[in-house]
């Protein structure tokens, strides 16, 4: 006589998209070059090049590297380029900036190369909670990528979501 409880979420056509599923493995490293500068603020080319030559670049094997300077020093573009050239054989990816910028670039590449054709005309919920450091920018990027194909886009969980877009 009692009605069975029906899980409408499980029976719906709603597709959950979790950015955490795309989080690539690999250590993230912040390389602060301020110690390579005279008094932490002046880049002297000869001394800087000596630091670059003597640095053990192989320690960044298969790592994601963010190169930055924690002081207010003005670093010329060639200095970051020189470091990138040395890191290229070892790191998975090198960016100039902090760890958040690194994660954003990682996700930009992932999202740009994502095949979403199977999501055409489907209601999609972008999962909001993650245990991994998914950058805020990734949510914006995936929303923009999904909008042309999705029937609707929501954010959060199926039981409690925020509608973002619905095709008319």
Tens digit of pLDDT for each residue in 108-163?
999 999 999 999 999 999 998 888 889 999 999 999 999 999 999 999 988 889 99
Task: Decide if 145 contacts 116 (C-beta within 8 A).
Answer: yes
Angle at 107 between CA 103 and CA 113, to 5 degrees: 155
Place of tokens 């409408």: 8
Tokens standing for residue 82: 């020189």
Segment 56-65 mean pLDDT: 98
- Domain spans, the chain: 8-24+105-166, 28-91
Tens digit of pLDDT for each residue in 61-119?
999 999 999 999 999 999 999 999 999 999 999 999 999 999 999 999 999 999 999 99
User: In the predicted model, is pLDDT for residue 7 greater than 60?
Assistant: no
Task: Decide if 92 contacts 105 (C-beta within 8 A).
Answer: no
SS3 at position 152: strand
Dihedral over Cα of 23, 24, 27, 33: its sign: negative
Which residues, 6+ apart, have CB-to-CB distance to 103 below 8 Å?
28, 133, 134, 135, 138
Alpha carbon dihedral 69, 72, 74, 76, in 10-degree steps, equals 10
Can you list the pairs that 43-46 forms with residues at least 24 positions away whose Cβ atoms lie under 8 Å? 43/73, 43/74, 43/75, 43/76, 43/79
């Amino acid at each position: 006589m009692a009605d069975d409880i029906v899980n409408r979420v499980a029976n719906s056509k709603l597709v959950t998209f979790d950015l955490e599923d795309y989080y690539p493995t690999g250590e993230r490293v912040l390389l602060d070059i301020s110690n390579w500068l005279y008094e932490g603020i002046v880049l002297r080319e000869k001394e800087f090049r000596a630091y670059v030559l003597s640095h053990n670049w192989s320690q960044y094997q298969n790592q994601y590297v963010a190169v930055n300077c924690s002081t207010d020093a003005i670093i010329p573009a060639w200095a970051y380029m020189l470091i990138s050239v040395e890191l290229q054989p070892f790191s998975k990816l090198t960016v100039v900036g902090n760890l958040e910028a690194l994660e954003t670039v990682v996700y930009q590449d992932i999202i740009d190369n994502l095949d979403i054709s199977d999501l055409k005309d489907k209601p999609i919920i972008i999962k909001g909670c993650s245990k991994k450091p998914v950058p805020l920018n990734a949510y914006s990027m995936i929303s923009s990528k999904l909008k042309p194909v999705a029937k609707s886009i929501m954010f959060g969980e199926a039981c409690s979501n925020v509608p973002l877009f619905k095709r008319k």
